[in-house]
Amino acid sequence: MPIANRIATISFGVALIGCACQAYAQDAAAWPDSLQNLTAEQGNTLLQMARDLLPAEQQADARIGVCLSRVDAAASEAIYKQGLADSVKLAGIAAHRRTGDRRYIDIADNSERVRLAKMLSEGGWLRQFRVQLTACMQVGK
């Protein structure tokens, strides 16, 4: 293959990857705006926690948005909404204790945030969240 064709092919591939990443970023950015029952802070925290809990190959924001929309719909029930609010608050307290950040989503160290997400998702409402998220992501395969 001539060098000019290789460069054109590589440029096209990079453009496709760039477009796909931009589309996922737009989906992720728009998801908290479409919430019905959760606050924007709760939505952003759950979105980041979902990314932190899932393996890299499943971190497609569009699919996570679909799964988190189900969480938002379930939050119309008062007891579910309260459990979720308490868990997001707990994540903020844990973030402050471990790193000094006020909110979970403010933790800059990715490995520390992932470690905290895994620890928090071992019990309470966040365990249910992790199980539901994992099951939902499996349906999309």
What pTM was computed for the model?
0.74
Q: Where are the domains of the chain?
A: 3-139
Nearest CA among 99, 100, 124 for reference residue 114: 99
| Predicted confidence (pLDDT) per residue in 15-61, tens digit | 333 333 344 444 555 666 788 999 999 999 999 999 999 887 777 66
Q: Where are the beta strands (DSSP E) in the chain?
A: none
Residue 49: closest CA among 105, 108, 123, 132:
105
Contact 14, 21 (CB under 8 A): no
Which pLDDT tens digit goes with each residue over 59-75?
766 788 888 989 999 99
Per-residue model confidence as pLDDT tens digits over 83-125:
999 999 999 999 999 999 999 999 999 999 999 999 999 988 9
